[in-house]
Homo-oligomer: A and B are copies of this chain.
Amino acid sequence: MSFIATPQSLHFPDALALQSGASIRDYHLAFETYGTLNADRSNAVLVCHALNASHHVAGVYAGQAKSEGWWDNMIGPGKPVDTDRFFVIGVNNLGSCFGSTGPMHLNPDTGQVYGADFPVVTVEDWVNAQARLLDRLGIRQLAAVLGGSLGGMQALSWTLQYPDRMRHAVVVASAPNLTAENIAFNEVARRAIVTDPDFHGGHFYQHSVIPKRGLRIARMIGHITYLSDDVMNEKFGRSLRAPALPDGSAAPEGDPAALPRDYQYSTQDIEFQIESYLRYQGDKFSEYFDANTYLLITRALDYFDPARTHGGNLTRALAPVQAKFLLISFTTDWRFSPQRSREIVKALLDNRRDVSYAEIDAPHGHDAFLLDDARYMNVMRSYFDSVAKERA
């Protein structure tokens, strides 16, 4: 049983200067809030989202079954981030396709849909936009800024861009920048989208088509990197697709009329369950995700690198940090491995900052940050419990 969430939106008429030198004006940010802001406005927690997520972090929408927010297991009344104690804010980033202004909206300068002309946005730009949203909500200082994966990068960036605007930063399954391999996977996904003939240089909206081929490939690649080799073997292994009935239709589980499956010897048909799973994920994604948004968000991932302007020295880069940190990583996460979290931990300790770090032994790869794992949930619960108590 989840509570009812209600999406909101705020209009920002003034231009926001972007890291690229461009700017964006007259934009909207979609957001949701859960819980109650206390009298001294000190119990706010901002949740930053990752690639395929939105401001709908927790709760369900009225009348919509199965509309739980993407971190509904983590955030809500009595949950690790307890909305009976905290005022939680979920915000959709600029350039997204889930409610905030993005490439599918009108460019006020031209009256045309942005398409590929939507300005390139960075983690730093998102944080600046989120800060403006907090200004409008009357929140000077957050109890905590919280995020996983790309969301963790935003939380880290918050502590550098606005060091005195949060007391805690919680960075889950994240990294101080992408490795060459991370960038490589992003680049293949982008090339699949950009070279899809239906992409039309990013202006596919006016051709009334969607580069679904490219989006499917991008999502399939993404899924492989979210899961661990172990969990893929456990979930799918080399299992063949479900057996078929003599007429070729899928047999219900345990149906004695089902034919034993042997190889079909086909290069294009589905043989293995893992293929079926990936195709399904790709198809689903291509129905709702925007191609330009995919390019923008993966590029924001590529660009994030706070040590870059400090000669690659992360310790120097993190000197401005004032917040206390909780970092969490997962042993089987090969996309953002524990080693990457430890780099952040070390740089914070070098700066004598207050850091807690948990490396969770979980089988699920990068996806673990979204899943229920008792140890992970306990670490989060206990940390946020202490955050709540220090205000009292």
- Which A residues have a C-beta under 8 Å from some C-beta of B? 19-22, 116, 120, 177-181, 183-185, 187-188, 190-192, 194-197, 202, 213, 216-217, 220-221, 223-224, 227, 229, 232-233, 235-238, 263, 265-268, 271-272, 274-275, 278-279, 282, 292, 295-296, 298-299, 302-303, 305, 308
Contacts and interface: CB of A to CB of B under 8 A. Distances in A.
B282 A268 contact: no
Max chain B Cβ within 10 angstroms of own Cβ: one of A177, A195, A295, A296: A195
- Judged by DSSP, the binding face of A is helix
Most B C-beta atoms less than 10 A away, residue of A192, A216, A271, A295: A192
A232 B267 contact: no
A192 B217 contact: yes
A295 to B, nearest CB: 4
Given A120-B265, A181-B229, A238-B183, A191 B282 contact: yes
A224 B213 CA distance: 21
A309 to B, nearest CB: 10
- Of the candidates A216, A227, A237, A274, the one having the most CB atoms from chain B within 10 angstroms of its own CB is A274
- This chain: copies in complex: 2
A235 B305 CA distance: 18
Contact of A187 (B20, B274, B305): B274
A145 to B, nearest CB: 24
Contact of A272 (B183, B272, B292): B183
A271 B217 contact: no
B267 A299 contact: yes
A304 B266 CA distance: 14
Contacts of A22: 265
Given A265-B19, A268-B194, A184 B232 contact: yes
B216 A195 contact: yes
Given A181-B232, A190-B268, 8 more contacts: A22-B265, A180-B236, A180-B272, A183-B272, A183-B275, A184-B223, A191-B282, A238-B308
Contact of A179 (B177, B233, B278): B233
Contacts of A194: 268
A192 to B, nearest CB: 5
A268 B183 CA distance: 13
